[in-house]
Structure 1
């Protein structure tokens, strides 16, 4: 009898940021294939005795699928442990398509992404009233291109909050494109290894962030957050405005005693 294959988001770094469901399944797995270059090895401490562990940093797609297939043929439960949330730059679509072809069932357990962890690190909210209600997740082109129309300069013209993945090694290129897109100096923050013990946060603007990043020697594992949301005036949300009613708060008496009924 074949077991299910689970794609699990391990979170951005801190091992406690995996979901309860994700850790529960991980603790029962017979085989774990984890992204060793990005996922904390601390997660492996929750695996059961006798589990077989593979580091996918040294494997190609065919090798990953072969391990899963052989394990499934033996009735073993397999966990594919990805960093952050696997749906964002996780390259899981190609793996799931291969499993579908083989008739192997799978499930995806979401996780905390590094972009939300980075926002938490700087204690900020991406979506502020009268500032922006849109968040763009993207990357600059490098060895892997981006689709036409998704150039960073074009996206910056929207003026939305941005979280830029996989681009810190090209910080000069990122800043040049953002400057042309925004057309002005805007706040920018680099969060290296968000939620890890050695997390570092660098605040700046388009005018000085490249220099600061180079001085700190940050070349990988960093989120670039850009936009006015980092430092701006904003309008308070209607959600908690006492003069604004909605289906859960319609006609509430201002007497605080009503809040406990």
Structure 2
């Protein structure tokens, strides 16, 4: 009987943020391959006795996909465990492509992204009325290139809420690009290891955030959140709960 590969979003770090569906797969999996450089090992605490567990940080792509395919073809259940949600910088497309070529069944279970864990840690609503109704998710160009039209300096022209992954190690360069459109007083926060026990938050503005991040010793595993939604003292209420607003489920007062 042919087995199956299940890609799992392990969440941002707190093992309690693993979905119930994902936890059930980990409990049953014969083979678990997890992104050890990012995934909290506690997420795997429910693995059954005798499960084969490998850290993909020590493996290359060929080794990973071949191990998954061979195990699934031998009738085993394989859990490929990624950090956060695998749809965002999860590098699953190339793995899926190989599994398809080998006709290996697979499934994807979404997870809680560090983006949302960071917003929770900041006690922030990223889409506040009359401030920003758009969230831009991006990263700076590094060893992985980006299309020029997705350069941070061009995305900054929207002045929307921006969430920047994989860029804290080059915070000065990121800030320089953001300053082509945002003001120097634009609020910024950097959240390292959101939801972990050693989570760290640094707040500032585009004027001083680079120095604050350097002083805090943050060089990796962090998300940069930029935008005026972080600095609002007086919130504009949404229309949804306005007593005078009529919608499908409620008639507004005075109408």
Q: Is the 8 A contact 2:245 2:252 kept in 1?
A: no
Aligned to 1:239: 240
**What is the Cα deviation at residue 251 of structure 1?**
6.4
Q: Is the 8 A contact 1:68 1:78 kept in 2?
A: yes
- Give the 5 Å matches for 1:1-261: 1-232=1-232, 233-250=234-251
**What is the Cα deviation at residue 234 of structure 1?**
3.9
Of 42-51 and 229-238, the range deviating more from structure 2? 229-238
Q: Relative to structure 1, is the Cα distance of residues 135 and 251 closer, same or farther in structure 2, using a 3 angstrom cutoff?
A: closer
Of 178-187 and 158-167, the range deviating more from structure 2? 178-187
**What is the Cα deviation at residue 144 of structure 1?**
1.5
CA distance in 2, matches of 1:85, 1:57: 17
- Secondary structure of 1:247's aligned partner: coil
TM-score normalised by the chain length of structure 1? 0.94
Task: Count matched residues.
Answer: 253
CA distance in 2, matches of 1:251, 1:172: 49
Q: Is the 8 A contact 2:12 2:117 kept in 1?
A: yes
**What is the Cα deviation at residue 103 of structure 1?**
0.3
Q: Is the 8 A contact 2:4 2:75 kept in 1?
A: no
Q: Relative to structure 1, is the Cα distance of residues 251 and 205 closer, same or farther in structure 2, using a 3 angstrom cutoff?
A: closer
CA distance in 2, matches of 1:138, 1:65: 27
For 1:185-242, what per-residue CA distance to the aligned partner results, in whole angstroms no more than 9, with x for missing partners? 3000000110000001011001100111111110000000000000124421011111
Task: Please provide the CA RMSD for this pair.
Answer: 1.3
- Secondary structure of 1:189's aligned partner: strand
TM-score normalised by the chain length of structure 2? 0.96
CA distance in 2, matches of 1:69, 1:5: 8
- Secondary structure of 2:32's aligned partner: strand
CA distance in 2, matches of 1:162, 1:41: 30
**What is the Cα deviation at residue 181 of structure 1?**
2.5
- Secondary structure of 2:150's aligned partner: coil
Q: Is the 8 A contact 1:5 1:104 kept in 2?
A: yes
- Secondary structure of 1:163's aligned partner: strand
Unaligned runs of 5+ in 2: none
After TM superposition, what 4+ stretches of structure 1 lie above 4 angstroms from structure 2? Answer: none
Q: Is the 8 A contact 1:130 1:234 kept in 2?
A: no
Q: Is the 8 A contact 1:193 1:199 kept in 2?
A: yes
Of 232-241 and 129-138, the range deviating more from structure 2? 232-241
For 1:102-136, what per-residue CA distance to the aligned partner results, in whole angstroms no more than 9, with x for missing partners? 00111110000011110100100000111111000
Q: Is the 8 A contact 2:244 2:253 kept in 1?
A: no
Of 234-243 and 132-141, the range deviating more from structure 2? 234-243
Q: Is the 8 A contact 1:2 1:72 kept in 2?
A: yes
